């Protein structure tokens, strides 16, 4: 299983690895969601969907089904904030 | 000699870049809204004086993130910019960008630049530069992008004059394409395209192949060629993705040299606020409170101005009757026209407040958060989070609400939203609800709640529940499968600009009053005519009544009898009695039946119709308020009061569900491009209304 944006937890960041050409709407790409960019998960809506991400300076809301198509490698450790606090 | 040169200028830009602010700044009050031919997209145009002899016709194109359209609104941008023969084809394009999202805005700029139209880049929100720690090397950027660039602040009216000067000399504005990506995308494919279409620019043909639906402006051979290139869909979509990546690479390279952000100043305030505003619990609390505040203000703030308007019109009617000689024309003026117009004017205050709220929610950026919060829930009812906007603004009027459903990319979700929006309680139902509630619901209070207010709240809830329930049913029954493209931007929070909001409210209110006003006025006149004319029995009413009744009655009583006899035997009365068997099971008499029938043009017509019917009958008496007249009214079939708890509630329920608005039906027809859906809507909602009203009447009788 590869990690996707849908696997991020709130506050976590990742780097986009690849975007499936056929499944992703062009619009998402146009908003700056492309390989090499850092993506941060800001919030997940109640009922676990949609997801609020920041990528390439754009604040976007996308549905989980699309988030699952954006493959990433996680950059920051999962609980960075807690590490610093402790 | 003064020549009156008019330049066509188009404003293009991402949503939330302050494009409308710039438009308002350039045109002031010289703007008009019309429709693009064939579609109901608002076409905003305005005149801007550039110099002594030159004017610019400024066209505010719908906001879009790229020239590749996803929605009908966005396709207007492409169609306007690609067709050189269109009368809207711009001499100059101004691409509005904002300093914070410059990178993304430049994607659109680079696409438009490649169309080889003179293009100016206006970077807006100059006032944000310092706060966000951004610095831009404008001179270098000008060189790199090979374009005129202006830093402006549309809200603070900065840099606008320089921009106007640049529009004045469009020839000086550079119009060469930024770059040719075709070789890096797919050299063989584009070589073939180039040799097939020698007379067109390559990028334009590429857009025609991938985007344009309407190819009618091309020759038959060209159309065939385009179709040929369209065959391999997967390849095209891959190329489009590639193009976007290449464009961004170029933009990144340019911005590296010219644009920098001081990270220490880059605040994440927006994300911080959003964590609260979209929180699982607080998010809903905030959303619910805002809605509650909205409804509360609609009723609390509008009461005084409505009473004031009411009294003005009562005085005007009295004054007109006293000043003019008695006769048919005076009757038409007072009972037909003045009564009809006051029926529209009276609920301007409520509409203004509703539009105001919706405009503020949109302008501040809150609306997108509500969309985010509600998406999953709305999906269970076959809709999208974006359906919140139509459903909430449907509280003002279903027509603009249904038009705003255009932003929903998914076809099925959009269709369901369009079909169920008319269930939300629009302001046209308000005057009907207001007068009926005042008539039949007791003025009792329970603690802080009052029964009349609760009834109204209940009717609003009923509307939303009906919309969601029918959405659910449609979701389960409609078989269309559509791929969902749900991507929305959560824009930066903004303090709403008073000017923008005032313009929006003014424009929407004006459209509503004129639209509804025309129908109401026409119907009032028709009703008045049908009621003051009739066959033989109507003409000989005086003799017939005098022969029938005993002479001991006073003259006023006899006159009243004549008036009601005439009303019953007028054309309107005859028509009313034909439909009476249909409405009798719901507890209505023929007059209420007529009110119901005319309401199918527009709901608010009910009040005007009742005003006309009852005031004609009361001929000669001074103008007493409609509500008083209605409370005295006797149902001629039962001999009881016409408006009781049972009949009144039955009417309320009927109005809650019935599809009584020609304007909405016309919009649904245009938006769905078929008569099928508006007819389903009309039949389905009206049958539901009839059954529900019948049950209500039976239970309460």
Q: Are strands A70-74 and A13-19 parallel, antiparallel or unpaired?
A: antiparallel
Residue A84: pLDDT band with limits 50, 70, 90: very low
What is the reported pLDDT for B615? 67
What is the reported pLDDT for A83? 39
**Segment among B16-30, B42-56, B326-340, B414-428 with least mean pLDDT:** B326-340
What is the reported pLDDT for B459? 94
What is the reported pLDDT for B470? 95
Residue of B nearest to A28 (CA): B487
Residue B1: pLDDT band with limits 50, 70, 90: very low
What distance in Å separates the CA atoms of residue B457 and residue B698, rounded to the nearest whole number? 23
What's the CATH number where B165 sits? 3.40.50.300
E strands present in B29-168: 31-35, 42-49, 54-60, 92-98, 119-124, 134-136, 148-151
What's the CATH number where A64 sits? 2.30.30.90
* Partner-chain residue, chosen from B376, B488, B489, that has the shortest CB–CB distance to A49: B376
The ipTM of this complex is 0.85
Q: pLDDT, tens digit, for every residue of B580-609?
A: 999 999 999 888 998 898 888 778 778 877
Give the tokens for residue B572: 């309107």
What is the reported pLDDT for B236? 86
Quickly list H helices, B148-201.
Answer: 160-168, 182-196
Indicate the helix (H) or strand (E) that contains B598.
helix B590-598
Give the tokens for residue B354: 């509703």
Q: A9, A28, A45, A66: best mutation site toward chain B, by most B Cβ within 10 Å?
A: A45
Which residues are CB-neighbours of A84 under 8 A, at least 6 positions away? none
Q: Phi and psi dihedrals of B474, rounded to 5?
A: -65, -40
Residue numbers of B between 80 and 119 with CB closer than 8 Å to A: 100-101, 103-104, 107
What distance in Å separates the CA atoms of residue B537 and residue B200, rounded to the nearest whole number? 75
What is the reported pLDDT for A82? 42
B245 touches chain A (CB under 8 A): yes
What is the reported pLDDT for B551? 67
B241 touches chain A (CB under 8 A): yes
What distance in Å separates the CA atoms of residue B170 and residue B71, rounded to the nearest whole number? 30
- Residue B371: inside a domain: no
- Residue A27 confidence (pLDDT) above 90: no
Q: What is the DSSP string of B378-390?
A: HHHTT--GGGHHH
State how far the alpha carbon of B153 is from the alpha carbons of B110, B123, B162, B503, B644, in Å: 22, 8, 12, 18, 60
What is the reported pLDDT for B33? 67
Count Cβ neighbours within 10 Å for each residue of A56-70 and write b for 16 or more, e otherwise. Answer: bebbbbbbbebbebb
Q: Residues of B with CB below 8 A from A48's CB?
A: 376
Q: Are B490 and A32 a contacting pair at CB < 8 A?
A: no
**Segment among B186-195, B210-219, B379-388, B609-618 with least mean pLDDT:** B609-618
What is the reported pLDDT for B415? 94
Q: B277, B490, B492: best mutation site toward chain A, by most A Cβ within 10 Å?
A: B490
Q: Are B275 and A30 a contacting pair at CB < 8 A?
A: no
Distance (Å) from the alpha carbon of A4 to chain B's nearest alpha carbon: 17
Tally of domains in chain B: 1
Q: Are B107 and A58 a contacting pair at CB < 8 A?
A: no
Domain that holds residue A54: 5-74
What is the reported pLDDT for B366? 92
Instruction: Report which DSSP code applies to B495.
Output: P
Closest among B406, B432, B428 to B417, alpha carbons compared: B406
Which residues are CB-neighbours of B516 under 8 A, at least 6 positions away? B344, B428, B602, B604, B663
Closest among B381, B361, B385 to B488, alpha carbons compared: B385
Q: Residues of B with CB below 8 A from A63's CB?
A: 375, 484, 486
**Diameter of chain B measured on Cα atoms:** 104
User: Which of B555-559, B635-639, B646-650 reaches the highest mean pLDDT?
Assistant: B646-650
Q: pLDDT, tens digit, for every residue of B357-378?
A: 888 988 898 999 999 999 999 9
What is the reported pLDDT for B34? 65
Q: Are A59 and B488 a contacting pair at CB < 8 A?
A: no
Q: B241, B249, B260: best mutation site toward chain A, by most A Cβ within 10 Å?
A: B241
Stated length of chain B: 701
- Residue B680: inside a domain: no
Q: Are B375 and A63 a contacting pair at CB < 8 A?
A: yes
A63 touches chain B (CB under 8 A): yes
Tally of domains in chain A: 1
**Rounded mean pLDDT of B1-10?**
73
What distance in Å separates the CA atoms of residue B29 and residue B45, rounded to the nearest whole number? 11
Three-state helix/strand/coil letters over B2-30: CCCEEEEEEEEECCCCCHHHHHHHHHCCC
Contact B428, B661 (CB under 8 A): yes
- Residue B522: inside a domain: no
- Residue B621 confidence (pLDDT) above 70: no
B493 touches chain A (CB under 8 A): no
Distance (Å) from the alpha carbon of B575 to chain A's nearest alpha carbon: 55
Give the tokens for residue B680: 């389903």
B586 touches chain A (CB under 8 A): no
Distance (Å) from the alpha carbon of B267 to chain A's nearest alpha carbon: 12
What is the reported pLDDT for B270? 81
Cα B686-B399-B484 angle, rounded to 5 deg? 95
**Rounded mean pLDDT of B309-322?**
88
Separation of CA B668 from chain center: 12
- Residue B557 confidence (pLDDT) above 80: no
**Segment among A30-39, B32-41, B337-346 with least mean pLDDT:** B32-41
Report the share of chain A in percent with pLDDT over 70.
Answer: 78
A37 touches chain B (CB under 8 A): no
Q: Residues of B with CB below 8 A from A43's CB?
A: 274-275, 278-279, 372
Q: pLDDT, tens digit, for every residue of B201-229?
A: 888 888 888 887 777 777 888 888 888 88
Q: Residues of B with CB below 8 A from A54's CB?
A: 271
Q: Are A45 and B66 a contacting pair at CB < 8 A?
A: no
Q: pLDDT, tens digit, for every residue of B157-193?
A: 889 999 998 888 776 666 777 777 777 888 888 888 8
Q: Is the peptide bond before B560 cis (omega within 30 degrees of 0)?
A: no
Q: Burial-class residue B62 by CB neighbours within 10 Å (0-12, 13-18, 19+).
A: buried
- Residue B607: inside a domain: no
Q: Are A47 and B372 a contacting pair at CB < 8 A?
A: no
**Rounded mean pLDDT of B77-101?**
89
Q: Are B104 and A54 a contacting pair at CB < 8 A?
A: no
Cα B620-B621-B627 angle, rounded to 5 deg? 130
Q: Are B70 and A59 a contacting pair at CB < 8 A?
A: no
Contact B571, B531 (CB under 8 A): yes
What distance in Å separates the CA atoms of residue B474 and residue B76, rounded to the nearest whole number? 30
What is the reported pLDDT for A81? 41
Across chain B, mean pLDDT equals 84
- Residue A16: inside a domain: yes
Q: Residues of B with CB below 8 A from A23's CB?
A: none
Interface A:B, Cβ pairs < 8 A: 116
What is the reported pLDDT for A22? 65
Q: Are B271 and A54 a contacting pair at CB < 8 A?
A: yes
- Residue A47: inside a domain: yes
**Rounded mean pLDDT of B500-517?**
81
* Partner-chain residue, chosen from A22, A28, A32, that has the shortest CB–CB distance to B237: A22
Q: Is A69 helix (H, G, I), strand (E, B) or coil?
A: coil
Which residues are CB-neighbours of B242 under 8 A, at least 6 positions away? B184, B185, B186
Q: Are A50 and B270 a contacting pair at CB < 8 A?
A: no
E strands present in B433-574: 445-446, 449-450, 487-489
Count Cβ neighbours within 10 Å for each residue of B10-22 and write b for 16 or more, e otherwise. Answer: bbbbbbbbbbbbb
**Rounded mean pLDDT of A26-52?**
87
Q: Using the structure block, give the residue that is written with the tokens 């599809």.
A: B659
Q: Are A58 and B104 a contacting pair at CB < 8 A?
A: yes
Cα B331-B335-B339 angle, rounded to 5 deg? 150
- Residue B679 confidence (pLDDT) above 90: yes
What is the reported pLDDT for A86? 35
What is the reported pLDDT for B637? 79
Q: Residues of B with CB below 8 A from A45's CB?
A: 278, 372-373, 375-376
Residue of A nearest to B282 (CA): A46
Residue B40: pLDDT band with limits 50, 70, 90: low
Q: B365, B372, B483: best mutation site toward chain A, by most A Cβ within 10 Å?
A: B372
**Rounded mean pLDDT of B90-119?**
91
B486 touches chain A (CB under 8 A): yes
A23 touches chain B (CB under 8 A): no
Within a 13 Å sphere around the CA of B478, how many CA atoms are in the beta-carbon half? 22
B248 touches chain A (CB under 8 A): yes
Domain that holds residue B48: 5-172
B348-364 vs B282-323: helix crossing angle, rounded to 10: 150
- Residue A20: inside a domain: yes
B375 touches chain A (CB under 8 A): yes
Separation of CA B23 from chain center: 20
Q: Residues of A with CB below 8 A from B267's CB?
A: none
Give the tokens for residue B193: 């395209």
- The more confident residue out of B32 and B352 is B352
Q: Residues of B with CB below 8 A from A41's CB?
A: none
- Residue B257 confidence (pLDDT) above 50: yes
Distance (Å) from the alpha carbon of B579 to chain A's nearest alpha carbon: 50
């Amino acid at each position: 299983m590869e990690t996707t944006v849908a696997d991020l937890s709130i506050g976590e960041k990742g780097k986009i690895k690849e975007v499936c050409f056929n499944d992703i709407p062009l619009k998402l790409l146009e908003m700056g969601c492309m390989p090499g960019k850092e993506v941060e998960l800001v919030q997940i809506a109640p009922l676990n969907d949609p997801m609020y991400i920041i990528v390439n300076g754009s604040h976007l809301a996308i549905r989980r089904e699309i988030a699952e198509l954006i493959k990433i490698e996680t950059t920051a450790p999962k609980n960075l904030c807690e590490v610093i606090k402790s | 000699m003064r020549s009156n040169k008019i330049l066509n200028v188009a404003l293009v830009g991402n949503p939330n870049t302050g494009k409308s602010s710039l438009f308002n700044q350039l045109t002031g009050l010289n703007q008009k809204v019309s429709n693009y031919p064939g579609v109901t997209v608002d076409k905003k145009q305005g005149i801007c004086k550039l110099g002594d002899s030159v004017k610019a016709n400024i066209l505010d194109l719908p906001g879009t993130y790229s020239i590749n359209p996803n929605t009908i609104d966005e396709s207007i941008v492409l169609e306007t910019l690609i067709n050189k023969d269109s009368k809207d084809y711009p001499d100059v394009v101004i691409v509005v960008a904002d300093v914070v999202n410059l990178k993304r805005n430049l994607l659109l700029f680079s696409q438009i630049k490649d169309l080889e139209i003179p293009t100016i880049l206006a970077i807006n929100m100059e006032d944000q530069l310092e706060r966000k720690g951004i610095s831009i090397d404008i001179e270098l950027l000008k060189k790199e992008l090979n374009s005129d660039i202006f830093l402006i602040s549309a809200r603070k009216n900065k840099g606008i004059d320089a921009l106007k000067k640049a529009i004045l000399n469009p020839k000086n504005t550079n119009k060469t394409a930024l770059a040719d990506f075709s070789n890096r995308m797919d050299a063989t494919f584009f070589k073939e395209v180039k040799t097939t279409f020698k007379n067109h620019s390559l990028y334009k043909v590429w857009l025609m192949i991938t985007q344009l639906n309407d190819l009618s402006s091309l020759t038959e051979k060209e159309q065939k060629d385009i179709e040929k290139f369209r065959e391999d869909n997967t390849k095209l979509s891959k190329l489009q993705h590639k193009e976007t990546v290449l464009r961004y690479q170029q933009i990144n390279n340019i911005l590296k040299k010219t644009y920098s952000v001081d990270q220490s100043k880059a605040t994440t305030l927006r994300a911080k606020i959003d964590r609260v505003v979209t929180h699982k619990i607080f998010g809903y609390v905030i959303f619910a409170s805002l809605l509650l505040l909205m409804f509360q203000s609609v009723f609390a703030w509008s009461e005084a101005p409505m009473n004031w308007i009411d009294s003005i019109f009562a005085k005007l009617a009295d004054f007109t009757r006293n000043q003019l000689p008695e006769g048919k024309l005076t009757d038409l003026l007072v009972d037909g026209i003045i009564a009809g117009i006051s029926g529209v004017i009276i609920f301007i205050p409520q509409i203004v407040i509703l539009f105001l709220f919706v405009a503020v929610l949109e302008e501040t950026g809150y609306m997108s958060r509500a969309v985010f919060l509600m998406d999953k829930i709305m999906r269970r009812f076959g809709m999208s989070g974006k359906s919140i906007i139509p459903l909430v603004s449907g509280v003002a009027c279903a027509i603009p609400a249904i038009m705003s459903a255009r932003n929903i990319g998914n076809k099925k979700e959009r269709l369901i939203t369009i079909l169920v929006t008319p269930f939300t309680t629009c302001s046209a139902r308000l005057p009907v609800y207001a007068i009926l509630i005042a008539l039949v619901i007791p003025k009792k209070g329970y603690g802080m709640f009052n029964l009349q207010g609760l009834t109204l709240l209940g009717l609003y809830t009923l509307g939303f529940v009906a919309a969601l329930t029918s959405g659910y049913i449609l979701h389960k029954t409609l078989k269309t499968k559509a791929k969902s493209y749900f991507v929305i931007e959560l824009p930066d929070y903004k303090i709403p600009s008073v000017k923008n909001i005032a313009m929006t409210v003014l424009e929407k209110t004006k459209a509503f009053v004129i639209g509804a006003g025309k129908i109401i006025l026409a119907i009032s006149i028709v009703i008045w005519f049908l009621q003051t004319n009739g066959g033989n029995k109507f003409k000989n009413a005086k003799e017939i009544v005098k022969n029938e009744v005993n002479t001991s009655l006073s003259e006023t009583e006899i006159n009243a009898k004549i008036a009601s006899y005439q009303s019953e035997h007028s054309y309107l009365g005859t028509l009313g009695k034909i439909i009476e068997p249909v409405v009798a099971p719901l507890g209505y008499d023929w007059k209420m039946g007529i009110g119901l029938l005319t309401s199918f043009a527009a709901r608010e017509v009910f009040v005007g119709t009742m005003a006309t019917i009852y005031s004609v009958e009361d001929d000669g008496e001074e103008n007493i308020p409609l509500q008083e007249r209605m409370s005295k009214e006797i149902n001629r079939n039962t001999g009881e009061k016409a408006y009781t708890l049972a009949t009144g509630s039955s009417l309320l329920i009927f109005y809650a569900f019935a599809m009584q608005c020609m304007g909405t039906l016309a919009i649904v027809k245009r938006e769905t491009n078929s008569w099928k859906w508006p007819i389903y809507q009309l039949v389905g909602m009206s049958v539901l209304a009839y059954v529900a009203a019948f049950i209500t009447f039976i239970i309460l009788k």
